[in-house]
Amino acid sequence: MTTAQQLVESITKGIQEKKGKGIVIADLRAIDGAIAQYFIICQGSSPTQVEAIAEEVGDTVRTELGEKPVGAVGLGTNQWVAIDFVDVMVHIFLPEVREFYDLEHLWEDAPLTQLPDLD
């Protein structure tokens, strides 16, 4: 069975493969009422890149772990794509949309891990 930690690693690998920036992992395991164990938040510089990141995340998780998301919303407009892997929610934003919604700070108590951008 795939663990949430394996999902986090596979998802971040997919994001980095398509040069997603500003990756933040929010650990929600200690938060009462959280809808997932982890949120992974990142951004792409254009709608095309947001879509490419979303596709790569799905492909990487399927190839590495044999898992598929239970849902994805936002594809088509590609301003904010949310992908639901049950224990892990992935949010891929355009920069201005990410700034507006500021998901990183929605749960003040959640420990945040920021990954360095890869060039």
Q: What is the pLDDT of residues 64-79, one digit of tens each?
A: 999 999 999 999 999 9
Contact 87, 36 (CB under 8 A): yes
Q: How far is Cα 65 from Cα 2, in angstroms, rounded to an integer?
A: 7
What is the per-residue pLDDT across 10-24, written as a single tens digit (0 to 9) for each? 999 999 999 999 999
Q: Where are the beta strands (DSSP E) in the chain?
A: 21-27, 38-43, 71-73, 80-84, 88-93, 112-114
What is the per-residue pLDDT across 43-59, written as a single tens digit (0 to 9) for each? 999 999 999 999 999 99
Q: How many CB atoms lie within 10 A of CB 111?
A: 12
